[in-house]
Chains A and B, each alone.
Chain A
Amino acid sequence: MKMPLSALIGLILTGGFLFCAVFAQFIAPYPVDAVLGGVWESPSATYWLGTDTIGRDILSRMIYGGQITIFVALAASLLSFGLGSFLGFLAAVRGGWIDQGLSRMVDLVMAIPSLIVALVLLSVLPINLTVLIIVMGLLDSTRVFRLSRAVAMDIAVMDYVEAAKLRGEGQTWIIFREILPNALSPLVAEFGLRFIFAVLFISTLSFLGLGIQPPLADWGGMVKENKDGLIYGKSAALMPALAIALLAISVNLVADWILSRTTSLKGGRGA
């Protein structure tokens, strides 16, 4: 199958971000916390993206910041995805009170905007990486739950699933051989969207001062550190902001492509 240009660009950029995140220690020109130059120096041959509010190299901090942002977002989306899809499938296949109980609980959590729930929780909980990952993962698992439940329900009423039941197949076969292979593509696309959501969420929390705490740096926190420079025409805050936007757009492009492939497969012979 031929890949559209947009998906290719998205894939390359996403790969690039991941590469920088994994090998940050080897790529970053300077240590994350070294105060090297003046305040808000302009980009130069020494400091490619300039320096920040206390004279640290922005490029280096962005590479390390990307590591943290991507790590936290990935961990949170893995949690939300694993938990949400497991419970969603369970609810769809088992039905009855398990489905009712889980669905009503999800309705309740989704009745309040995630950011508000997170703020309420973070007003009590200690703010550290583990807590952030768990809070974001749990909150977002509600969305994965709804999607995977709906997808599994759609498949569970198909005649081929009924045929498997009539044959006497067990639940393991029905979930893993009949339902899962047909649910995979929309779920993979959903994983991309959940990851974007986690990136935006952690960045927003850090920007509000309620996410990643100094001395660790992440992109949202870097925007916060450097935001005052904007008034003096210093664009330092825009660099991490740009990184957030670019990562989100790249993953979006890839997810869009996966989703469109799914629908064309479903469309069958185009009759």
Chain B
Amino acid sequence: MPDLLEIRNLRIEATSYPPGEPPRDVVLVDDVSVSVAKGKVLGLIGESGAGKSTIGLSAMAFGRGGVRLTGGEIVLNGRDIRTMGAAGLRALRGREVTYVAQSAAAAFNPAKRLMEQVIETSLSHGLMGRAEAEKRAVMLFRKLGLPDPDNFGSRYPHQVSGGQLQRAMTAMALCPKPDLVIFDEPTTALDVTTQIDVLAAIKEAIRDTGVAALYITHDLAVVAQVADDILVLRHGKKVEYGPVAQIITDPQEAYTRALVSVRSIDHAEKPEAPPVLSVQNVTARYSGTNFDVLKNVTLDLPAGQTLAVVGESGSGKSTLARAITGLLPPSQGRITFAGRSLSANLQSRSRDDLRELQMIYQMADTAMNPRQTVGTIIGRPLEFYFGLGGEEKRKRVQELLDEIEMGKGFIDRYPAELSGGQKQRVCIARALAAKPKLIICDEVTSALDPLVADGILKLLLELQAREHVAYLFITHDLATVKAIADKIAVMYRGKVVRYGSKTDVLTPPFDDYTDLLLSSVPEMEIGWLEQVLAHRRMESAGN
């Protein structure tokens, strides 16, 4: 029996319009073949630009913007959908194949109630009557663990949370009883403790409805929980294709091995040392609000070591950085830095205070002035703090570029001519140029692909060993924490709920929140999701 979906030698092209150059065609996907059997889940995995979303949408013969399917066959239920006309495709979309987008918040029409949107496909394709469709929608809401399933559909999209919208979108995709659902990074935008619930809900819904799925993600650990087979993609080409167990435990290609072993940097914790930064009872709020975003935070960061501050969105971890840098003067508490008491306000800090405390941002794109060259960007702190100029400055900039493993030829380039990883390296060099004692790293690897992020982490560790610089490392990603931290502070709703050496923090017994957070991080292990869920059910039954 032929598979439900068979893609053979798919080729996808698009026209790119680089500024100042004539438009040219680029190949997004080249010679990719996969198949999905009824009721099976295929994971598509790769970094940004690997073509995984493009392939996913091709199963609906849909190309975003100027994307064109230029070669190969896409056979769904025995017909090549590339040859179908507009009417045929409309009949197919929403009936045989449905789609779950990464940002459900944007994918729902803000002007219509959820129920209308969830049952719309079933009604407009004439698959069922309104009453039957609504009944099915409520059933799906219940199955997906949405609150008050009977009345959930009467709400508007802005009235429910992000995690709930993502489940509602899954309900919308499953309502017309399709053969195949495309999940396009459905949990990427969610916090890790929300992600696990949505992931479990999606997995259960897939199993119970017997639908087949294409599951697109950049996170191998996530896809290992839901997929039967995995296709690893890079630059639009197939790298490796096989059953999930083989890909995880016995990857054949070097690139797959790198993906599997990503975040397995080992970093031995350093012994206790005198602190370079000491935060005592700091409380802070934004002007015009009556809510403390930081509540009585106390932390020490030993010189030359890394303190990782972990938390989810809204935990106050970035606010902590703003309080330390002086951008948001705390309403209470004191901060000691390099043995001196640090003035709360940025304006009244000494030049040495400013120099020795540097910052690296999440988005390297916006952290560099697009009108300045790499040489100017890295050279400015040299000029500003040390009075270097001319040849001397240029020589030092080149030394710094060598340190971040970017050789000759970058000094006169503009940020727009660099890759994401290179941009972040330049930001690191700019911070290093000031010879700081402490660098605050605010989610510096979150916007990068895993392998690139790994490179940045390794570089940071090397630089720490060489320059004896301390890092306050703010992140939501626990794998990164394990890779780089000496000490860890877990933040939740403006408070530090757990704090100590890496080993202490990561060793049970845990407080409730840390337990939830740690156990929610997907592990590269088949069956992890079931184990966690079973464990949680047991505990809640025990209580």
Contacts and interface: CB of A to CB of B under 8 A. Distances in A.
- Is any CB of A less than 8 Å from a CB of B in the complex? yes
Contact of B18 (A158, A166, A270): A270
A160 B384 contact: no
A113 interface: no
A233 interface: no
Interface stretch (B230-238, B332-340, B368-376, B445-453): B368-376
A121 interface: no
A247 B358 CA distance: 52
B371 A182 contact: yes
A163 B367 contact: yes
Nearest to B427: A163
Interface in B16-30: 16-20
Contacts of A269: 18, 416
Given A181-B369, A182-B369, A265-B19, A162 B327 contact: yes
Most interface-central of A163, A165, A167 (chain B CB within 10 A): A163
Given A159-B363, A168-B354, A270 B19 contact: yes
B361 interface: yes
Given A159-B367, A178-B369, A167 B19 contact: no
Nearest to B419: A269
Contacts of B430: 163
A168 B380 CA distance: 11
A169 to B, nearest CB: 7
Contacts of A177: 369
Given A168-B384, A182-B371, A163 B20 contact: no
A111 interface: no
A259 to B, nearest CB: 13
A267 B351 CA distance: 36
Interface string A138-175: 00000000000000000000111011011111000000
Nearest to B359: A166
B208 to A, nearest CB: 39
A46 interface: no
A160 B368 CA distance: 5
Contacts of A160: 366-369
A126 interface: no
Nearest to A179: B369
The main secondary structure of chain A at its interface with chain B is helix
B381 interface: yes
A4 interface: no
Nearest to A165: B346
Nearest to B349: A168
B416 A268 contact: yes
A167 B380 contact: yes
A1 interface: yes
B218 to A, nearest CB: 15
Interface string B326-365: 1100000000000000000010010100110111010101
B462 to A, nearest CB: 23
Nearest to A2: B20
A123 interface: no
A168 B346 CA distance: 8
A44 interface: no
A163 B326 CA distance: 12
Interface string B230-253: 000000000000000000000000
Interface residues of A, number: 24
Contacts of A168: 349, 351, 354-355, 384
A7 to B, nearest CB: 14
Interface string B124-163: 0000000000000000000000000000000000000000
Nearest to A265: B19
**Interface-centre pick from B355, B359, B434 (highest chain A CB count, 10 A):** B359
A267 B18 CA distance: 9
B369 A270 contact: no
Nearest to B416: A268
A166 B368 CA distance: 14
Contacts of A271: 49
A40 B237 CA distance: 75
B20 A1 contact: yes
Contacts of A178: 369
Contacts of B416: 268-269
B366 A158 contact: yes
Interface in B72-119: none
Nearest to A158: B366
Contacts of B361: 159, 163
A182 B366 CA distance: 12
Contact of B17 (A163, A167, A270): A270
B354 A167 contact: yes
Given A159-B361, A269-B416, A270-B18, A166 B367 contact: no
Contacts of A2: 20
A181 B19 CA distance: 19
Contacts of A159: 361, 363, 366-367
Contacts of B170: none
B514 interface: no
Contacts of A169: 384
A166 B346 contact: yes
B325 interface: yes
Interface in B219-234: none
Contacts of B384: 167-169
Contacts of B363: 159
B20 A166 contact: no
Nearest to A1: B20
Contact of A267 (B19, B349, B365): B19
Nearest to A159: B367
B88 to A, nearest CB: 33
Nearest to A263: B19
A209 B17 CA distance: 50
A166 B325 contact: yes
Nearest to B418: A269
A162 B327 CA distance: 9
A163 B359 contact: yes
Contact of A181 (B355, B359, B371): B371
A169 B346 CA distance: 11
A266 to B, nearest CB: 8
Contacts of B368: 160
A182 B363 CA distance: 18
A264 B346 contact: no
Interface string B431-448: 000100000000000000
Nearest to B350: A168
Given A2-B20, A166-B359, 19 more contacts: A1-B20, A160-B369, A163-B361, A163-B367, A163-B430, A166-B327, A167-B354, A167-B380, A169-B384, A182-B369, A261-B19, A264-B19, A264-B20, A265-B19, A265-B370, A267-B19, A268-B416, A270-B17, A270-B18
Interface of A: 1-2, 158-160, 162-163, 165-169, 177-178, 181-182, 261, 264-265, 267-271
13 contacts: A2-B20, A159-B361, A160-B366, A166-B326, A166-B327, A168-B354, A178-B369, A265-B19, A265-B370, A269-B416, A270-B17, A270-B18, A270-B19
